[in-house]
């Protein structure tokens, strides 16, 4: 018997395609992390809302598929992270801060395992394109917010605050909670786009160069210390893709420069250097945590908020 038009219009979509589509959607929602919903006291961001649908469907897809659920050394490290989060909470008491931290860690681990067991090699090329698109969207909202702020139109796409090294700045953050998060999202797009360009996988109309330029502009407008990580990544990508034509001296210099930037990043994320004539009170909360560790005639060195968060965790 021939199939009717009604039957042809209702061909079921394989669960695997639905899961893969939700993974792409999750990546595209990452730049909108500040858009949240409140439900019975919980705050759920857009990516997490997508994950609530993705996780059970992925599990339903994985279990009957017969796919071997393999574990490796990285998995042991990831689960060790959860244990390392739970044990301190056990000793100091499971207050709301500790429980929230455990839930966040468990969520990230579950996300990692779902992506590991559902992403297939055929998805890699499209996944890279989706990551670049997601980063580009984030950069565009950051640029728009900064442009509006520059002309005196305040929006939630930027924040205006004191900065330890730039006095007062408008920092792009788009639809993310902080400029640092926006910078991290854009940075991933820069890495993939730069890798694509350095391998000569470019369009003839210059579109790929325009995308990279937009990403870099969006990143720069966050005024984030993540720029050190960006520089490290760019150097490593170029060094890897062009290592066949680089001399031993250049490769050695690259390793030294990357190591220096890595040390600078550690120092920059843990300590804040403030000039004596700056009002350090304006930096407390966003940058400074606690009193000065070292004081000289011209400068004071304070612990950063990142230092404080590490002590709490």
Same domain, 211 and 133: yes
| Confidence at residue 203, expressed as pLDDT on a 0 to 100 scale | 67
Looking at the structure, tell me whether residues 126 and 238 fall in a common domain.
yes
Q: Which residues of 48-62 are buried (b: 16+ CB within 10 A; e: fewer)?
A: bbbbeebbebbeebb
The CA–CA distances, whole Å, from 311 to 87, 252, 268, 303, 306 equal 15, 36, 17, 11, 9
Same domain, 238 and 255: no
Whole-number pLDDT of residue 249: 79
Indicate the number of domains in the chain.
2
Q: Are residues 236 and 221 in the same domain?
A: yes
Residue 175 has pLDDT above 90, yes or no: yes
- Among 245, 262, 277, where does a domain finish? 245
> Domain boundary at 200, 230, 245, which?
245
State whether 228 and 135 are in the same domain: yes
Domain residues for the domain of 160 are 120-245
Instruction: Let me know whether 302 and 188 are in one domain.
Output: no
Tens-digit pLDDT profile for residues 207-247: 889 999 999 999 999 988 888 889 999 988 888 888 777 77
- Residues 260, 238 within the same domain: no
Look at residues 190, 214, 245 and tell me which one is the last residue of a structural domain: 245
Domain co-membership, 296 together with 313: yes
């Amino acid at each position: 018997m021939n199939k009717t038009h009604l039957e042809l219009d209702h061909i079921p979509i394989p669960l695997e395609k639905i899961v893969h589509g939700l993974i792409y959607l999750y990546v595209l929602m990452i730049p909108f992390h500040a858009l949240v919903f409140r439900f019975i006291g919980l705050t759920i961001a857009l990516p997490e809302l997508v994950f609530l649908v993705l996780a059970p469907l992925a599990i339903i897809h994985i279990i009957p598929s017969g796919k071997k659920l393999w574990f490796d050394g990285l998995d042991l490290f990831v689960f060790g992270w959860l244990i390392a989060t739970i044990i301190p909470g056990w000793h100091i008491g499971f207050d709301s801060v500790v429980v929230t931290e455990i839930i966040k860690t468990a969520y990230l681990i579950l996300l990692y395992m779902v992506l590991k067991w559902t992403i297939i090699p055929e998805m890699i090329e499209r996944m890279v394109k989706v990551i670049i698109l997601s980063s580009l969207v984030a950069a565009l909202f950051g640029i728009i917010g900064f442009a509006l702020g520059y002309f005196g139109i305040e929006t939630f796409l930027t924040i205006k605050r004191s900065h330890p090294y730039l006095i007062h700045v408008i920092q792009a953050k788009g639809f993310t909670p902080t400029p640092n998060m926006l910078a991290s999202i854009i940075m991933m797009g820069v890495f993939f786009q730069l890798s694509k360009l350095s391998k000569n996988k470019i369009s003839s109309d210059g579109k790929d160069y325009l995308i990279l330029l937009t990403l870099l502009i969006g990143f720069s407008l966050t005024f984030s210390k993540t720029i050190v990580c960006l520089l490290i990544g760019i150097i490593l990508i170029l060094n890897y893709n062009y290592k066949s034509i680089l001399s031993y001296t250049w490769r050695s210099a690259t390793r030294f420069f990357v190591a220096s930037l890595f040390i600078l990043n550690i120092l920059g994320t843990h300590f804040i250097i403030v000039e004596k004539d700056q009002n350090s009170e304006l930096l407390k909360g966003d940058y400074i945590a606690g009193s000065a560790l070292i004081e000289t005639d011209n400068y004071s060195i304070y612990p950063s908020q990142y230092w404080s968060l590490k002590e709490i965790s």
